[in-house]
Amino acid sequence: MNGLLQIALKLLANDRGKFYTLIIGITFAVVLMLLMTSLFAGIMQRTAATIYNIGAKMWVMDPSVNTQIDNIPMPDYILDVVRSIKGVKYAVPLYSGTGLLKLSDGRYQSANIVGIDDYTLFGRPPMITGNIIDIYNDDAFIAIQDSEFAKLNRPTIGTTFEVNDNRGVFVGTAEALMAGLFGTPTIYTTYRRAISDLPTTRFTITYILLESKNQTDIAYIKNKVQEYGYLALTQQEFITKNTNYYLYETGLGTNVLIMTMISFIVGLSIAGQTFYTFVLENIEEFGALKAIGAKKSELIAMILYQASIVGFLGYGFGLLIASILIAVAKLRLANYAALVTPSSLAATFVMVLIIVAFSSYLGVRRVIKIDPFDIFRG
C-alpha cells in the first residue's frame, strides 16, 4: 500500500498545472469561507459589547429585552426586591441609553451613555488617563478610547461638552474589552448623573446587575425574579439571547450564510471539476495498476490520498492567507470586526472535508469502472 500511495503522490505532483490549480481553487475557497465565518463571529461578538464590558455575572431585565440596546426601564422598587432575594450577594442599578452631545467645536454627536452605580462603581472601565474617583466631580464623564473615540474629537482631561443642555466635563479616558458594532462612541458617568442629565421616563433602571452567593442560588434567583414579572439571565445566557436575535430575527445571519455558501460552492466546483479532469488524464496509469493486480480498495485509497493532500494543503495556505488579510485589515480599519475563532476554523475545515469527499467521489466513480482490457487495447 505504501508503494501505491507513493505512486499516487508522484502522479499528482508530476502534473504541476493541475496540482497547482487544485490547491489554488481550494485555497481561494478557504480564504472566502474563513473571512465570512470570522466576520460573522466578530459581528456577533460585538453586538454584545456592553455585556462583555460591564462584566456582570447576572442581569435582571424586562422580559421584552432581546438585545443589549433594548433599553426598557424598570421601576425602582425592583432593585429592592432583587436585593432581598435569598442568595443574592449584591445588586446594583445600571443606566444605559443614548444622548446627543454638543462637542466643544459646536458639532453634534450621538453617544452611548452608561451610568454605573454611585456607591460601588461596579462595571467601571479600566482607566487610561485620569482617576476613576474623579467621576464624582461635578458634571464628570469618562470617554471610552475605542475605534469610535475620534468621533468625540479625541477629548483630553478637562474637555467640555453639552448633553441635553447640561454641561459635561471629561475627567479621563478608559478602555473597553470590546468595541461596539454600531459606530457610536461610549461615555461613562454615575447612575444619578445619568438619570438627572438625560430625559427619562418615570422608571430609570435599565438593568440590574447582581451576583449570587453561590452557583446553586442562580436557579432560585431566576424563579423569584420571574414571579415579579421580570427576567434574570446569566452573562452567557444574555449573550446567547442577544446573538440569537441578530442571527434569526434579522437578515444578518442569512446574508453571511449565503456568502459562505457561495464560497463553498466555488471551491466545490473548481476542485471537483479539476480533480475529475486530473483522473481522466491519468486513467491509463490507474488501468495499468488494476491490470497488474491492484484492488479496487487500493485504487480508492490512492484517490482519497491525492484528494486529502490537495485539501490539507489548500486549507493550510487558505488559513495563512486569510489570517494575514484579517490582521492587515484590523491594523488599517479600526472598525473591522472579523474574529478567527475555533468554531470558524472548525466550520471551514468541515467544508474543506466535504469538498475533498466530493472530489474523491467523482474520481473514484471513474476509476472503479476501468476495464484494463480497454486500456491496453487502446
User: Which pLDDT does position 161 carry in this prediction?
Assistant: 93
DSSP 205: B
Spatial distance between the Cα atoms of 121 and 137, rounded to a whole number of angstroms = 14
Of 239, 237, 118, 247, the C-alpha closest to 188 is 118
Q: Do residues 47 and 339 make contact, with C-beta atoms less than 8 angstroms apart?
A: no
Per residue in 62-88, pLDDT tens?
A: 999 998 888 889 998 999 999 999 999
Q: Do residues 254 and 36 make contact, with C-beta atoms less than 8 angstroms apart?
A: no
Spatial distance between the Cα atoms of 331 and 238, rounded to a whole number of angstroms = 30
Can you give the pTM of this predicted structure? 0.77
Helix (H, G, I), strand (E, B) or coil at 172: strand
Non-local CB neighbours of 260 within 8 Å, separated by 6+ positions: 32, 33, 36, 37, 40
DSSP string spanning 31-52?
Answer: HHHHHHHHHHHHHHHHTTHHHH
Helix (H, G, I), strand (E, B) or coil at 293: coil
Q: Do residues 144 and 186 make contact, with C-beta atoms less than 8 angstroms apart?
A: yes
User: Which pLDDT does position 1 carry in this prediction?
Assistant: 53
Residue with cell 442569512: 254
Cell numbers given for 113: 451613555
User: Which pLDDT does position 40 carry in this prediction?
Assistant: 82
Non-local CB neighbours of 23 within 8 Å, separated by 6+ positions: 310, 313, 314, 317
Spatial distance between the Cα atoms of 209 and 262, rounded to a whole number of angstroms = 43
Residues of the chain with pLDDT under 50: none
Non-local CB neighbours of 305 within 8 Å, separated by 6+ positions: 5, 8, 9
Q: Looking at the chain, which runs of residues are DSSP E strands?
A: 58-61, 88-102, 108-116, 127-130, 140-144, 160-163, 166-174, 186-190, 207-212, 231-234
DSSP string spanning 72-138?
Answer: --B-THHHHHHHHSTTEEEEEEEEEEEEEEE-TTS-EEEEEEEEE-TTT-TTPPPEEEE-GGGGGST
Buried b / exposed e along 8-38 (16+ C-beta atoms within 10 A): beebbeebeebbebbbbbbbbbbbbbbbbbb
User: Which pLDDT does position 192 carry in this prediction?
Assistant: 93
Spatial distance between the Cα atoms of 133 and 121, rounded to a whole number of angstroms = 9
User: Which pLDDT does position 329 carry in this prediction?
Assistant: 87
Tally of CB atoms within 10 A around 40? 26
Cell numbers given for 280: 481522466
